[in-house]
Amino acid sequence: MERQTAWDKILEHLKSRVQSSDFDTWFRHSKQKSETSEYIQVRVTSPLFVEYISENFASQIAEAAAYAGYGDREIRFGSDDTFPSAVTPHKSTPETRRRTSALNPDYTFENFITGESNRLAHAAALRVADQPTRQYNPLFVCGGSGLGKTHLMQAVGHRRLSRHPGDTIIYMTSENFVNEVAQGIRFNRMEAVRQKLRAADLLLVDDVQFFVGKEASLTELFHTFNALYDDGKQIVFSSDAPPREINGLTDRLKSRFEWGLIVDIQVPEFETRVAILRKKAESHNIDLPDDVAFLLAARCKRNVRELESSLTKLELLADLRGEDLTADLARDVLADLLGRDEASSAPTEILKAVASHFGLKPSELKLRTKKEAIVFPRQVAMYVLKSATSLSLPEIGRLFGDKHHTTALHAIKKITGRIEEDPELNRQITNLIAQFRP
């Protein structure tokens, strides 16, 4: 039996830290090339992998390495004989400090797509970037993971910097903050840490839910907040939940968080997801066909980060295989991410979606009536069912209170004709279908 390498051991810990589809895509074919007391070299499939892995999985790899007992080694990734990219499990202090104020250049307002789900948060963020007011101080942005909180906060930072280049802008994750405080206490330089924080004209603290249980940091945050607030400096917080729902925060801090404006970011609607994909494709200079965009947007509903990474994966695999970005390739390679065939629930979901599109209840589609307000939506539903599922015409007929299969056939012909004449209807129906096609 082959001896287990250090990387094999790290992989075992990594498995439980990344999604299984990611593990299969990115790590299954990785292999240790060599090992010294300082570093471990790992060979991956292509140079694209090198970049993607270190950008997206660095913290999980560092953690897995620490658990596997290699917390002191650098992990270097490469695809041939150069190993340009490294993940260091123990970040040194200077590096942590440098990262504290760095803003991701992509996280700007220009790159932020707005829709119903984030309109208020976006408007509030723009407002505090341009003209701080008591009313919106602090701005507290909450929402689920991967919905754009960090992006929006950093956009505030970028915008303020471009308007007021002299301003001191501090962006910190809660982790940065807690680390700074821990280091400050340990090296007896808390005063310097305080001064640094209080010099901010704009303080952005990301993911404050991670402060829970960190007493010293909570106290420090409280005093920093008071000092900046009294000076009229803008503060922006983010969290995965509204202040009152974060258990384990001190009441006085919760109440400070509620002084200004709390805005939330919801899961983006279909159109917004499509727009985000288009924007991302544009910035990558790739041609994203509508049906591929619809397919990805239909299947990645709850998390923009996953939506983006599904596109990146697809891009990468199209590139590796030398194929075009087509819906077939998308279905093929993203089968895992896109979930199992939801054949059994699909018809019900389709009836719901079509009914709601026309402002009806699903049961109304089944009424025995010749009223156009019912007949037309019913025909659309039949058309969508035929296009998005493998149901036969008699099966489709039965979904509507035992309509004969010729009724279904007639409906489909009718809608096919209408679509040819009416581009707007065509667009609506294409959207509906894309949401359900397996």
CB contact at 8 A, 343 and 372: no
CB of 395 to Mg ion, least distance (A): 45
Count of residues interacting with ligand ADP (CB under 6 A): 17
The window from 140-148, 250-258, 403-411, 429-437 that contacts ligand ADP (CB under 6 A) reads 140-148
Q: Is 308 in the site for ligand ADP (CB under 6 A)?
A: yes
Q: Which residue is nearest to Mg ion, using beta carbons? A: 150
Candidate residues 13, 149, 273, 403; the one interacting with ligand ADP per rule CB under 6 A: 149
Q: Any residues with CB less than 8 A from the CB of 52 and at least 6 apart, and which?
A: 26, 312, 316
Residue 304 touches which of ligand ADP, Mg ion, none (Cβ within 5-8 Å per kind): ligand ADP
Candidate residues 33, 194, 305, 410; the one interacting with ligand ADP per rule CB under 6 A: 305
Distance, in Å, from the CA atom of 412 to the CA atom of 435, rounded to the nearest integer, reads 19
For 146, list phi and psi in degrees, rounded to 5: 80, 20
The window from 302-310, 334-342, 383-391, 427-435 that contacts ligand ADP (CB under 6 A) reads 302-310
For 242, list phi and psi in degrees, rounded to 5: -65, 155
Candidate residues 53, 113, 172, 262; the one interacting with ligand ADP per rule CB under 6 A: 113
Q: Look up residue 340 and give its two tokens.
A: 């199992």
Distance, in Å, from the CA atom of 273 to the CA atom of 123, rounded to the nearest integer, reads 19
Q: Is 148 in the site for ligand ADP (CB under 6 A)?
A: yes
CB of 304 to Mg ion, least distance (A): 11
Distance, in Å, from the CA atom of 406 to the CA atom of 419, rounded to the nearest integer, reads 20
Which CB atom, from 169 or from 311, has the smaller least distance to ligand ADP?
311
Which CB atom, from 30 or from 150, has the smaller least distance to Mg ion?
150
Nearest to 61 by CA among 47, 77, 43, 45: 77
Q: Is 388 in the site for ligand ADP (CB under 6 A)?
A: no
Which CB atom, from 132 or from 143, has the smaller least distance to ligand ADP?
143
CB of 107 to ligand ADP, least distance (A): 6
Q: Look up residue 61 and give its two tokens.
A: 């790899």
CB contact at 8 A, 198 and 168: no
Which CB atom, from 121 or from 412, has the smaller least distance to ligand ADP?
121
* DSSP H helix total and E strand total for the chain: 21, 9
Sheet holding 169-173, edge to edge: 169-173, 202-206, 234-239, 139-143, 261-265
Residue with tokens 């090339």: 33
Binding mask 120-159 for Mg ion (x = CB under 5 A): -----------------------------xx---------
- Which residues bind to ligand ADP, rule: CB under 6 A? 107, 111-113, 118, 143, 145-151, 276, 304-305, 308
